[in-house]
């Protein structure tokens, strides 16, 4: 009888130990998943907001964007990418959203409402209005090795690279590429294309 009682006690302890090990393994799996998710979001994704109408009609004030940060670590930004970048310094730093128009090494100029890249009219992928104010781009702007010229899609309401307050965007200030509009889960690159 004592042997039977001891056997039951040992079996009970073994069951408890197996349950404890399962609980510990599940906690470990959950902790690793949370850490991996945090790592992924911290290094590869970020959320940003649109604060003005400078990207209308593609993006509106109040839109929430999912930014993908990895691609610009392994490749260069491309013309027409919608980017999120840092603007201002210190406590006055904020994020801004614009479309890349000019690439490093290119010359940008706006004449008679049209954008010229290296002397040729830019055939834009999006529908844009006539540019009434060329700003600093009324004369040739030569982009340095790490500089980008950006414009808002709402050209006559946007404060962008044509303004001395914004100027050319330095590569290090680019946070990432706008990937999705979270309000309605639309892919940003497909917004506001020219109709065929």
Place of tokens 């000019």: 102
Q: Is 80 helix (H, G, I), strand (E, B) or coil?
A: coil
Burial of 194 (0-12, 13-18, 19+ CB in 10 A): exposed
Q: Which of 54, 158, 161, 177 is catalytic?
A: 54
- List phi, psi (to 5°) of 170: -80, 140
pLDDT at position 188, please? 64
64 is catalytic: no
For 95-148, what is each residue's pLDDT tens digit?
899 999 999 999 999 999 999 999 999 998 777 888 999 999 999 999 999 999
Q: Counting Cβ atoms within 10 Å, is residue 164 exposed (0-12), middle (13-18) or buried (19+)?
A: exposed
- The catalytic residue among 98, 158, 161, 177 is 98
Q: Which of 34-38, 49-53, 88-92, 165-169 has the lowest mean pLDDT?
A: 88-92
Q: Is residue 171 a contact partner of residue 148, using CB atoms and an 8 Å limit?
A: yes
The per-residue pLDDT for range 58-108, each reduced to its tens digit, is: 888 999 998 999 889 899 999 999 999 998 777 777 889 999 999 999 999
98 is catalytic: yes
Tokens (6 digits) for 84: 């999120």
What is the residue whose two structure tokens read 């808002």?
A: 152
Among candidates 153, 150, 154, 173, which has minimal Cα distance to 78? Answer: 150
* CATH of the domain spanning 50-190, picked from 3.30.360.10, 1.20.1280.50, 3.40.50.1820, 2.10.109.10: 2.10.109.10
Per-residue confidence (pLDDT) for residue 80, from 0 to 100: 92
Query: Per-residue DSSP letters for 4-73?
Result: HHHHHHHHHHHHHHHHHHHHHHHHHHHHHHHHHHHHHHHHHEEEEE--SSTTTTTS-TT-EEEEE-SHHH
Q: What are the residue boundaries of the structural domains of the chain, listed by start?
A: 1-46, 50-190
Helical ranges in 112-156 per DSSP H = none
């Amino acid at each position: 009888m004592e042997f039977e009682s001891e056997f039951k006690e040992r079996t009970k302890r073994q069951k408890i130990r197996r349950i404890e090990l399962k609980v510990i393994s599940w906690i470990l799996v959950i902790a690793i998943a949370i850490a991996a998710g945090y790592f992924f979001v911290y290094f590869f994704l970020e959320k940003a907001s649109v604060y003005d109408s400078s990207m209308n009609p593609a993006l509106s004030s109040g839109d929430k964007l999912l930014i993908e940060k990895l691609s610009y670590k392994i490749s260069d930004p491309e013309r027409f990418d919608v980017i999120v970048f840092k603007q201002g310094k210190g406590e006055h730093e904020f994020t801004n959203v614009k479309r890349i128009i000019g690439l490093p090494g290119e010359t940008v100029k706006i004449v008679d409402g049209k954008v010229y890249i290296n002397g040729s009219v830019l055939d834009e992928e999006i529908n844009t209005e006539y540019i009434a104010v060329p700003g600093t781009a009324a004369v040739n702007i030569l982009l340095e090795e790490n500089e980008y010229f950006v414009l808002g899609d709402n050209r006559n309401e946007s404060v962008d690279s044509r303004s001395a307050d914004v100027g050319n965007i330095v590569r290090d200030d680019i946070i990432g590429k706008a990937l999705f509009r979270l309000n309605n889960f639309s892919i940003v690159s497909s917004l506001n294309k020219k109709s065929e």
